Structure 1
Amino acid sequence: MINKLIMVFVCLLVTQSYAQEGTASPYSFYGIGSLNFKGTVENRSMGGISVYNDSIHLNLRNPAAYGGKNLSVYNNESRPIIYSVGGSHSDIKLTSNSGSDKTSTTTFDYLSFAIPLGKLGVGFGLLPYSSVGYKLENSNSLGNLTQRYRGQGGVNKTYLSFGYQITNELSFGATADYNFGTIENSTVEFLYNTNDELLGYQTREDNRSDLGGLGFNFGAYYTKKISEKLELQTSLTYSPETKLRSRNTRSFSTITLDGLGNENEINTVESDLASVGLETTNLIIPSKFNIGAGIGEPRKWFAGVDFTTQNTSNFSNRLYNYQNVSFENANTLSLGGFYIPKFNAFSGYFKRVVYRGGLRFEKTGLKVNNESIREFGISFGLGLPVGSGKDFFSNANIGFELGKRGTTNQNLIRENFVNLKFSLSLNDRWFQKRKYN
């Protein structure tokens, strides 16, 4: 077990250094940034479906998954302890009507644990909730720089989940999470004289929001054998509307630009946000509902579909007034599944590999210049067994996703991305009954 913990924390330390660069999307300019996928590499490799549940993989999207029955392979004494860490790398091509550019990010995705306590299961961990990371510039018809926007940060989530198996077919669960983080952004409006010459002194506006607040998620799972081989799985989750407390600061700086366009700060004046009631504000995080269903042969194959809807039109943030931007209700349709040639094969390693694939179609809820920002992804992945003997449930997971976000209509930006995701899902037994001959 010590070796496994070393592997987990080595991965955590390596990926944590990139955690502040969670996205390079220009669409993270709005709201609290781009919302991160709150699931495992296994989920994402199947199009993002969360309906599938078993005893040897984490499911971060439905707390009811933590409950369950003991495994016969463990003499019906327990289920395994599960601890998992995941990270990802994204290569992104940004395309507009005026040109294109490329960028990339590497991020920490999650660190999670699940501990069985009979039919009750407890889970806890840390994962990013949203990411902000953009560098945008606008120019006029003469090619002169008119605006520059910069942003970084995001919101993280630490959570505690409980799941309980009511019957062999039905489980319920609940998650309480604490969201926290910092979002920083700056804006420069460049001014020119009558000869279209850049003025020597410019003004930059800097904003910082320190966010914090509680959230909840409730879930249910229902499974049913519908024939000798086939099993039906259904899933339901609901997250009620919550509020994030935002403590805000704003300042204005006089700057000059060097020959490379770098900003040199001359002096700074702090804005009195308290006088206008903006020193402390509340961000409304809309409610979310998910339902899913799937069918398969246990330890052989599975195919499922998920539908998620969120009342994003209710999102609000009094600190910012966005021009030509609105929020509409968001939804996501995910389809995916897996196939295992022979999970208990004694020979032929690739017979025990899990082969995953899926599709997702997403309406993000963001509307810019009257264009709905949509996202599409096609994914596939592998679950590679890494254990032996009593640890044969452990696995390394690799996922790939190809997709696009946004459009070039209305002078917007289209993102074409390639995501590479990796995780370790490690299983062990901490509590065993002693036996005497």
Structure 2
Amino acid sequence: MQFRLHPRLGMTIGYTPFSTVGYNFTRTKAIENSSDVTISNNFYGDGGLQQIFGGLGFKIFDHLSIGANIGYLYGKLKYQTTATLSNGGDQTITYNTVSISSYHASFGLQYTQPINKGNEITLGLTYSLGHVLNGHDTQGTQITNGTNYSVVNEQQINDSYGIPHIYGAGVAWKHKKNLTIEADYTLQQWSGVKYNNQTNLYQDRSKVAVGAEFLPKEYGRNYFSRVRYRVGAYYANSNLQIPVAQNMVEGPKEYGVSFGFGLPLKLYQRNTVLSITGQYIHAKPSVSDMLSENRLVLKIGLTFNEHWFMKWRVN
């Protein structure tokens, strides 16, 4: 939710997901020096982080604005790997449960320069603060024969994960109120960020994105002339470094394309919009034995943007 406190001061409050974990797959392979025994590894991850945040935006001059968001991060992440032998031996379960309770801060600067009566350019800069997260990590191993469980090597580790410094820059060209074309660049400085109390598992991640929105007529009587038509694409390298044969290789590169609509909900109510977007994402691994991903994503969003809490000058 965002609203105006003063002609030059706006405020926002929100509750959104910050990150999610969700996977469950199994790999089976033969054991070396054994022709009839295989080992099956099940990899499971679940959970995520949420954030509650508040922010302020201030218009310094007619074309220059600054803003900041401060948020509280919390949540729990669960990771588990199970090893099972085909000959009925004991099952080994390695687990890792992470509880996070920390803060998040981001800042922005935006400048809009009119070119002429129908065109304007907007430049934006953003920065998110990277730091070590306040958290508690429980790691251990269970061995079971299906009936009895024994826990070995369980330990508690504090503050073993972090988030990166993130820098962003973008430019947008707007032609009248009909066409907007944008390009963004984001740099996430993952190198040196803690993961499981290690600092050598990440590399910096860059992302380039472009997009456009076309609105035929802002006040057209025909419904389809007031629909917003959107298209976009992006490319990003991975922040992961994966150990392969005693070497660290780069994780999968990723690109995506999308197409969507912004649908006004009523004939004369143009501020509330239902957004529907379809997206195709492809992740290409850098080595042959990694998973390749092809995902189709459907996104649905509802934006209320109405003139509430305003005093009428004439009753």
Which TM-score applies when normalising by structure 2?
Answer: 0.89
2:136 corresponding residue in structure 1: 247
1:223 corresponding residue in structure 2: 112
1:331 corresponding residue in structure 2: 206
Please give the alpha-carbon distance, in whole angstroms, between the structure 2 residues aligned to 1:434 and 1:338.
Answer: 33
Which runs of structure 2 are paired with 1:8-23 in the superposition (5 Å)?
none
Please give the alpha-carbon distance, in whole angstroms, between the structure 2 residues aligned to 1:394 and 1:343.
Answer: 13
Instruction: State yes or no: 1:117 paired with 2:11.
Output: no
Q: CA deviation at 1:284?
A: 2.1
The residue identity in structure 2 corresponding to 1:354 is R
Q: Flag the structure with higher helix content.
A: 1
Which blocks of at least 5 consecutive residues in structure 1 are unaligned? Answer: 1-112, 257-263
Please give the alpha-carbon distance, in whole angstroms, between the structure 2 residues aligned to 1:159 and 1:217.
Answer: 10
The residue identity in structure 1 corresponding to 2:92 is T
Which secondary structure state, in structure 2, belongs to the residue aligned with residue 351 of structure 1?
Answer: helix
The residue identity in structure 1 corresponding to 2:251 is S
1:371 corresponding residue in structure 2: 250
* Contact 1:343-1:352 within 8 A present in 2 as well: yes
1:173 corresponding residue in structure 2: 67
- Per-residue Cα deviation, 1:69-105 (whole angstroms, up to 9, x for no partner): xxxxxxxxxxxxxxxxxxxxxxxxxxxxxxxxxxxxx
Please give the alpha-carbon distance, in whole angstroms, between the structure 1 residues aligned to 2:75 and 2:135.
Answer: 10
CA RMSD of aligned residues (A): 2.2
Which TM-score applies when normalising by structure 1?
Answer: 0.65
Q: Please, which of 157, 163, 166 is the counterpart of residue 285 of structure 1?
A: 163
Instruction: State yes or no: 1:204 paired with 2:93.
Output: yes
- Where in structure 1 do 4 or more consecutive aligned residues deviate above 4 Å? none
Which blocks of at least 5 consecutive residues in structure 2 are unaligned? Answer: none
Q: CA deviation at 1:211?
A: 0.8
- Per-residue Cα deviation, 1:404-425 (whole angstroms, up to 9, x for no partner): 0132733000000111000100
Q: CA deviation at 1:270?
A: 6.7
Which runs of structure 2 are paired with 1:36-435 in the superposition (5 Å)?
113-118=1-6, 119-141=8-30, 144-191=38-85, 197-199=87-89, 201-256=90-145, 264=146, 266-269=148-151, 271-274=153-156, 278=157, 280-319=158-197, 326-345=201-220, 347-368=221-242, 369=244, 370-389=249-268, 391-407=269-285, 409-435=287-313
Please give the alpha-carbon distance, in whole angstroms, between the structure 1 residues aligned to 2:44 and 2:314.
Answer: 66
The residue identity in structure 2 corresponding to 1:198 is G
Please give the alpha-carbon distance, in whole angstroms, between the structure 1 residues aligned to 2:213 and 2:278.
Answer: 14
Which secondary structure state, in structure 1, belongs to the residue aligned with residue 61 of structure 2?
Answer: coil
Q: Flag the structure with higher strand content.
A: 2
Aligned residues: 304
* Contact 1:114-1:121 within 8 A present in 2 as well: yes
Which runs of structure 2 are paired with 1:23-34 in the superposition (5 Å)?
none
Please give the alpha-carbon distance, in whole angstroms, between the structure 2 residues aligned to 1:327 and 1:251.
Answer: 23
The residue identity in structure 2 corresponding to 1:266 is N
Which secondary structure state, in structure 1, belongs to the residue aligned with residue 224 of structure 2?
Answer: helix
Please give the alpha-carbon distance, in whole angstroms, between the structure 2 residues aligned to 1:186 and 1:320.
Answer: 19
The residue identity in structure 1 corresponding to 2:88 is L
The residue identity in structure 2 corresponding to 1:115 is F
* Contact 2:38-2:85 within 8 A present in 1 as well: no
Tell me: CA distance 1:364–1:134, structure 2 relative to 1, closer, same or farther (3 Å). Answer: same
The residue identity in structure 2 corresponding to 1:393 is N
RCO (CA 8 Å, sep 6+): is it higher in 1 or 2? 1
Q: CA deviation at 1:244?
A: 1.1
